[in-house]
């Protein structure tokens, strides 16, 4: 799958984003199935508990892939309907959390009535304000979630590695790979820095991650050969990321990485 080409249509509507996620899931592991969704009854119970209606985009994402751990719960997980909560300011309904609770992604309460509302981000790295705008559409935030969880999968046995993103490395990436047209969004740990940038080629995903000390290029592939080809194409100081133990609450939730 060429993610840059596939994402071209996803920028047009949330329905197109869901088609992108379906194609992404099928190309990396196994196609989506009805068992991957969260039943509408659980969403309704969450609405009754919270006293707010959930946006159509959130309900649709839950119904399509809310239980696919390899897509939404590798590192910074999508919250299940029963886990939805308010941010510390009481202004955002949080639907995704950084794995240690240092940051969260949420929907402004006054926009919950929108079908595809904007998303805000709060973080321990954001002094002085409660939260800042993240992306203009919730569906776009789900596209970013799926991509970023795929990148984080390198820490749990997926094929990938990283290197410092020097000027030479960035130039090589820009020359060899196509950008994925996700709207610019900040990294939760470096909110005032450059936005995260995404690139791809068939079977390959590349992420330029900003950092106040040393930006990083992370690459993941559908096979070890894909990763080796990216390493050969980009003149970086590459170091493989060793898999680390990761325990899921239920064994069947573990992502089916090959």
What percent of the chain clears pLDDT 90, i.e. is strictly above it?
Answer: 73
Residues 55-81: b if buried by 16+ CB within 10 A, e if exposed? bbbbbbbbbbbbbbbbbbbbebbbbbb
The Cα 23–Cα 83 span in angstroms is 28
pLDDT tens-digit profile of 147-194?
Answer: 999 998 776 556 889 999 999 999 999 999 999 999 999 999 988 889
What's the pTM value of the predicted model, to 2 decimals? 0.89
> How far is residue 89's CA from residue 113's CA, in Å, rounded to a whole number?
19
pLDDT given at position 4: 86
The pLDDT of residue 127 is: 77
pLDDT tens per residue, range 19-55: 999 999 988 878 999 999 999 999 999 999 999 999 9
- C-alpha triplet 161, 162, 166: angle, nearest 5°: 155
Tally of CB atoms within 10 A around 50: 16
The residue among 207, 208, 212, 167 whose CA lies nearest residue 193 is 212
In Å, the largest CA–CA distance within the chain is: 54
Whole-number mean pLDDT of the chain? Answer: 89
Q: Which single residue is written with the structure tokens 């509302």?
A: 117
Is residue 199 helix, strand or coil?
strand
Which residue from 156, 201, 143, 170 is spatially nearest to 3, judged by alpha carbons?
A: 201
């Amino acid at each position: 799958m060429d993610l840059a080409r596939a994402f071209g249509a996803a920028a047009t509507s949330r329905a197109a984003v869901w088609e992108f996620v379906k194609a992404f899931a099928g190309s990396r592991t196994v196609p989506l199935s009805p068992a991957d969704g969260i039943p509408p009854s659980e969403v309704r119970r969450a609405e009754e508990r919270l006293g707010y209606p959930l946006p159509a985009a959130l309900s649709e994402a839950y119904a399509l892939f809310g239980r696919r751990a390899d897509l939404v719960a590798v590192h910074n997980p999508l919250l299940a309907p029963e886990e939805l909560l308010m941010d510390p300011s009481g202004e955002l309904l949080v639907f995704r959390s950084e794995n240690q609770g240092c940051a969260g992604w949420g929907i402004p309460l006054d926009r919950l009535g929108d079908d595809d509302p904007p998303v805000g981000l709060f973080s321990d790295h954001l002094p002085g304000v409660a939260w800042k705008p993240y992306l203009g559409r919730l569906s776009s935030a789900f596209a970013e979630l799926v991509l970023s969880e795929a990148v984080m999968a390198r820490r749990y046995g997926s094929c990938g590695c990283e290197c410092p993103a020097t000027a030479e490395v960035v130039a090589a990436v820009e020359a060899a790979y196509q950008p994925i047209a996700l709207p610019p969004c900040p990294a939760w740990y470096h909110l005032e820095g450059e936005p995260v940038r995404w690139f791809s080629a068939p079977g390959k995903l590349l992420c330029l991650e900003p950092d106040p000390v040393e930006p990083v290029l992370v690459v993941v592939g559908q096979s070890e050969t894909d990763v080796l080809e990216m390493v050969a194409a980009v003149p970086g100081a590459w170091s493989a990321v060793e898999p680390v133990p990761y325990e899921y609450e239920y064994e069947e939730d573990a992502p089916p990485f090959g």
